[in-house]
Amino acid sequence: MLHSATVAKLLEVKDLQTHFLTRGGVIRAVDGVSWDIDEGETVALVGESGCGKSVTALSIMRLVSLPAGRIVGGHIYFKGRDLLTLGEEEMRRVRGREIGMIFQEPMTSLNPVLTIGRQLTEGLEIHLGMSQADAHRRAVELLGMVGIPDPARRLPQYPHQFSGGMRQRMMIAMALACDPPLILADEPTTALDVTIQAQILELMKGLARRLGVAMLIITHNLGVVARYADRVNVMYAGRIIERGTARELYGRPRHPYTLGLLRSVPRLDEPRRARLAPIDGQPPDLARLPPGCAFAPRCAFRVDRCAHEAPPLEAVGDTGHVSACWESARLQREYEPAH
Amino acid sequence: MSLRTEGATATSGPRMSETGEVLLDVRNLVKHFTVGGGMFGGRGGTVRAVDGVSFTLERGETLGLVGESGCGKTTTGRCILQLERPTSGQVIFEGQDLALLSDADVRPFRRRMQVIFQDPYASLNPRMTVGQILAEPLAVHGLVRDRDGRRTRVRELLTRVGLLPQHADRYPHQMSGGQRQRVGIARALAVEPALIVCDEPVSALDVSIQAQIINLLEDLQAELGLTYLFIAHDLAVVRHISDRVAVMYLGKIVEITDRLQLYENPLHPYTKALLAAVPIPDPVLEAERPRTVLMGEVPSPLNPPPGCVFHPRCPIAIDRCRGEVPPLREVTAGHRAACLLA
């Protein structure tokens, strides 16, 4: 459980493609996405609804719903093994045991007819082969660790007897139960009130540091990302359009979409602006994406080339900062510094 | 009832609050719900959803109502609209106490007060085209009696909210979330209201679309002299759009003042905690910011704590706070807070 000093790639997603077959055509929800997480690192996947961030997480867990959804290409290397080549039985051992997961809606991801205790001990008994007594002891420990008061008394209770914040703590306890080296957290605080959100995020960050767990945070909230992520991937229409360290990306955005997102939100740390600067237009229809850059129709930096040629991710800084924009150099000239 | 109302757009121009004309005066509003004793035989109880709320809203201004879930902000909005009838208290709108009126007598006022909901998809009839959705209130309230006139007015409304006339033939499911919220706004505007209660109008929308809708709401206010009660949990959005802000906690207003005062000089420890909890989209600032995380959770409104309802979570509570209910008192001119220590 030591925080490893050697920085190895814990998870490496390579050219992942996940498609959905619908009546409207093929939806390329994840369209050739590559990114990685080092051991103990917190990485964010940011984007708006439909950008493919959640499908990416489901793909890692191999939980994309058949028959409509299918992983049609790419690799997901976890500790060097390609998860896409594993049998279902092996994959089941990875879920929960090796990769924990926290979802947005704890109420729908907890079993309403099983006690809190049973839901915690089940995984411990199955994955770790613990005895009932040991699993019970560990469950009490876990609930205490995530800040649920009086854990022994809470174990026989059911999820509906827990508040939203307490349920999310319970989800975190479940994700941590088997000491996984990686946790995927999909909008972990979106359904929570702001003071509870702050509690949960502090808890997650603290535990991740203390236990050396790597974390993928999937969110649309730019503030949450700024507070907690080491590195950030910004997704748009199934692709990563910019990646960098949080400081680099927020301080010197090199993609018009990232810049647009940062400028469209009102901020408490800045004087109130007379008018917000939204991104024009509507989010893209994934069944009818333009041949070039998917953001081009809404982009203020658009040039002719954008309409038919999709820009690749290219280095725009020296700390691994990459952006997929033909005009990133112009963007840099016009918006330096960003704020 | 023969209460006529003046023309909706008689006054125009931005931010009419300097005229000081009170459009809505809410006095000691209380809404209790009785719960329990149902099929599982639980003990019954009274949820004190709104517990003595008072504020005024001047014509042309925007009052932000913020607070976390269960604080009573939505119920307050619904009581003003008379979608819930208050348990007690007054809702004086354009000089008339709506709480005293029968359902039938409230009806003419419904046209003067409209609402925009969080989820435009749930609030638009999926079987009606956008054109039908917008024409319906025009017919129901007898505002435009002939079909052609209604068609023209629908086009006008669509254009006004940034949609195209041809959107009239679409169904809600054929539109994006942002477009649907524009339809929701157009429907509210159709009956020429004076007051619009905006209940979390942008929280279900993507970040890039939120700003579009907020700008639209501001433009419409400037053009039509609308008055907004803007209910939201996002403190940054509320600061942007509001002239004054009220913070609610467990059914009570704990602080109310103008925008600048609330954000620059918050007096109530709950307001301070809320502001501290909002993450700022800047990693450099975030790294330097002290973490003051509010402990505990909001208590049940079934059984609110005695004294100051915030005292169990309050970092500065003293013994007196446990026994004494702090009144919402004016601490400095125009700045009221319900805290013994403010």
Per-residue pLDDT of chain A (339 residues), as tens digits, is 344 445 569 999 999 999 999 888 899 999 999 999 999 999 999 999 889 999 999 999 999 987 789 999 999 999 999 999 999 999 999 998 999 999 877 777 888 999 999 999 998 998 899 999 999 999 999 998 888 888 999 999 999 888 888 888 899 999 999 999 999 999 988 878 888 888 888 888 888 889 999 999 999 999 899 988 999 999 999 999 999 999 999 999 999 999 999 999 999 998 888 899 999 998 888 888 889 999 999 999 999 999 999 999 999 988 899 999 999 999 988 876 544
Chain A residue numbers touching B280 (CB-CB < 8 A): 223, 226-227, 267-269
- Residues whose CB falls within 8 Å of the CB of residue B21, separated by 6 or more in sequence, listed in order: B58, B59
Whether chain B has a CB inside 8 Å of the CB on A297: the answer is no
Beta bridge partners of B244: B63, B258
How far apart, in Å, are the Cα atoms of B264 and each of A127, A268, B261, B330, B335? Answer: 52, 10, 5, 17, 12
Q: Which amino acid is at B162?
A: G
CA-CA distance, B167 to B252, in Å (whole number)? 42
Instruction: Write out the residue range of the structural domain in which residue A235 sits.
Output: 230-266+277-339
Residue A4 lies in a domain: no
Reading the block at residue B113, the tokens are 């007060």
Suggest the residue from B69, B118, B174, B206 to mutate for an interface test with chain A (most A CBs closer than 10 A).
Answer: B206
Pairing of strands B244-249, B62-66: parallel
**Is B185 within a domain?**
no
Instruction: Report how many Cβ contacts below 8 Å link chain A to chain B.
Output: 138
Residue of A195, A235, A241, A275 best to disrupt the B interface, most CBs of B under 10 A: A195
Share of chain B above pLDDT 90, in %: 75
DSSP per position, A54-69: HHHHHHHTT-PPTTTE
Strands A99-102 and A182-186: parallel
B320: phi then psi, degrees, rounded to nearest 5: -55, -35
Please enumerate, as own/partner, the contacts of A76-81 that have beta carbons within 8 Å and a separation of 24 or more.
Answer: A76/A11, A76/A12, A76/A13, A76/A14, A76/A16, A77/A9, A77/A11, A77/A12, A77/A13, A77/A14, A78/A10, A78/A11, A78/A12, A78/A182, A79/A10, A79/A181
pLDDT at B6 over 50: no
Structure tokens at A202: 């502090």
Structure tokens at B31: 């809404």
In a domain, B50, yes or no: yes
- Rg of chain B over all Cα atoms, to the nearest angstrom: 21
As given in the structure block, the two tokens for residue B328 are 């919402």
Q: Inter-chain contact B208–A268, Cβ cutoff 8 Å?
A: no
- Cα angle value A313/A317/A320 (rounded, 5°): 65
Contact with chain A for residue B69, Cβ under 8 A:
yes
Q: Is A284 on the interface with B (CB under 8 A)?
A: no
Residue A240 in any domain: the answer is yes
Among A54, A276, A279, the residue to mutate for chain B (most B Cβ within 10 A) = A276
- The CATH number for B307's domain is 3.40.50.300
The answer to whether position A305 is within a domain reads yes
Question: What is the pLDDT at residue B17?
Answer: 46
Does residue A54 form part of some domain? no
Across the interface, of B280, B294, B298, the residue whose CB is closest to A267 is B280
Which residue type does B262 have? L
**Rg over CA atoms, chain A:** 21
Chain B neighbors of A224, CB-CB under 8 A: 279
- Number of structural domains (chain B) is 1
User: Do the domain assignments include residue B1?
Assistant: no
Q: Has residue A311 been placed in a domain?
A: yes
Phi, psi of A201 (to 5 degrees): -65, -40
Report how far residue B36's alpha carbon sits from residue B22's, in angstroms, rounded to the nearest whole number: 39
Q: Which amino acid is at A27?
A: I
Strand B62-66 and strand B227-232: the pairing is parallel
Name the token pair of B91. 């809702």
d(CA A136, CA A155): 9
Distance of CA B9 to the CA centre of its chain: 21
- Phi/psi of residue B230, nearest 5 degrees: -105, 105
Give buried/exposed letters for A241-261 (b at 16+ CB in 10 A, else e): bbbbbbbbbbbbbbbbbbbbb
> Which is nearest to A158 in space by CA: A200, A196, A120?
A120
Counting every residue written for chain B, the total comes to 342
Q: How far is A295 from chain B (nearest CA, A)?
A: 12
> Domain for residue B175, yes or no?
no
Task: Please check whether residue A307 lies inside any domain of the structure.
Answer: yes
Please say whether the beta carbons of B77 and B65 come within 8 A. yes
- Name the phi and psi angles at A36, rounded to 5: -150, 170
Residue B293: band (very low, low, confident or very high) from pLDDT cuts 50, 70, 90: confident
Contact B279, A224 (CB under 8 A): yes
A309 part of a folded domain: yes
- Domain with B273, as residue range(s), is 16-112+193-337
Residue B251 forms part of a structural domain: yes
The number of distinct structural domains making up chain A is 1
The reply to whether A256 falls in a domain is: yes
| Contact flag B285-A269 (C-beta cutoff 8 Å) | yes
Distance of alpha carbon B315 from alpha carbon A290, whole angstroms: 54
Give the number of other CB atoms < 10 A from CB of residue A304: 10
